[in-house]
Amino acid sequence: MASLDPESSEQTHLSEEELVWLYYEEAENIGDLSSHLSVCGQCRTKYEELKADLLSIEGWQIPERSPEYAGNVWKVLIQREPALARKRKAWRHRLSFSRMAVAMSVMAMVCVAFFIGRYTKDETESAQQNDVRQQLLAADLSDHLEQSERVLLELANSEQDQQGVRIDRQRVENLLRTNRLYRLAAGTEGHASLAVVLEDLERILLDVANGPEQLSTEQLDALKIRMDDQELLFKVRVLELRLRKFNPASEESLGEREWKG
């Protein structure tokens, strides 16, 4: 490492390596090196020479490809990989009864586990206070899920041939904030499965909230596919219905009924 003090009686200069890392802004002590350059003419000259050499490399020309190049690459790729030409089936036709049944049973288990967990955890408090708290929580969360479900339904039912779908972003942003709180609470309470569903919901809400007010057909398709793959609409719907029926006093019977399917 060079002595960076130009006034030093034993002044040395910056090495070629230091100059290179200064040029690429990878030096650990850029400030010191720059200061030295500003007062040392010899190093400044060397640095200018290095810059000139490296800039001359910019003149290396790459053979131009025609505007049709990408299309030609695509044609070759299709020949080599036929799966590339495959189109996806319409979103709505992919929902099968078996998948719905799986989604519903999973959500029923998640819902019951969450509320049984909450209930037993607070058993030291008075039963009455706890009942009220649980019912309020269930009502709040089910309201939130119902509103979220409406947004998901609007997205899911919008027609593919429309020019786009207008979204009330303010409403989605509000849902997003609320959802985040519920998701954090579920995670803190150790209800990982519920937190996962809320996280899936949050990602969709986040994309919609951060997206344009008018979603294009392509953006809409991508959202539908994600919702579809995650069974999100059904999970949210089932969770909401279970919460509406939730009654702390009959918590045990609810659990029995759900577990028996």
Residues that bind other proteins (CB under 8 A): 16-17, 20-21, 24, 26, 50, 52-54, 56-57, 59-63, 65, 69-71, 73-74, 76-77, 80-81, 83-88, 212, 216, 218-219, 221-222, 225-226, 228-229
CA 22 to CA 16: how far, in whole Å? 10
Residue closer to other proteins by CB (options 7, 28) is: 28
Calculate the alpha carbon distances from 108 to 36, 93, 101, 142, 198 in Å: 69, 24, 11, 14, 15
Residue closer to other proteins by CB (options 54, 181) is: 54
Residue closer to other proteins by CB (options 56, 124) is: 56
Task: Determine the Cα angle at 175 with ends 173 and 176, to 5°.
Answer: 60
Minimum CB separation of residue 87 from other proteins in Å reads 5
CA 259 to chain centre: 33
Residue labelled with tokens 């890392």: 21
Minimum CB separation of residue 73 from other proteins in Å reads 5
Residue closer to other proteins by CB (options 25, 123) is: 25
Residue closer to other proteins by CB (options 41, 71) is: 71
Taking the C-alpha atoms of 10, 11, 13 and 15 in order, what is their torsion angle to the nearest 10 degrees? 40
CA 123 to chain centre: 37
Longest dimension (CA), the chain: 90
Minimum CB separation of residue 104 from other proteins in Å reads 22
Minimum CB separation of residue 231 from other proteins in Å reads 13
- In this structure, are residues 189 and 117 in contact, taking their beta carbons and an 8 Å threshold? yes
Residue closer to other proteins by CB (options 26, 123) is: 26
CA 44 to CA 258: how far, in whole Å? 78
Minimum CB separation of residue 78 from other proteins in Å reads 9
- In this structure, are residues 140 and 253 in contact, taking their beta carbons and an 8 Å threshold? no
Minimum CB separation of residue 54 from other proteins in Å reads 7
CA 161 to CA 146: how far, in whole Å? 27
Amino acid at 258: E
Minimum CB separation of residue 37 from other proteins in Å reads 18
Tokens of 57: 């490399």
Residue closer to other proteins by CB (options 119, 234) is: 234
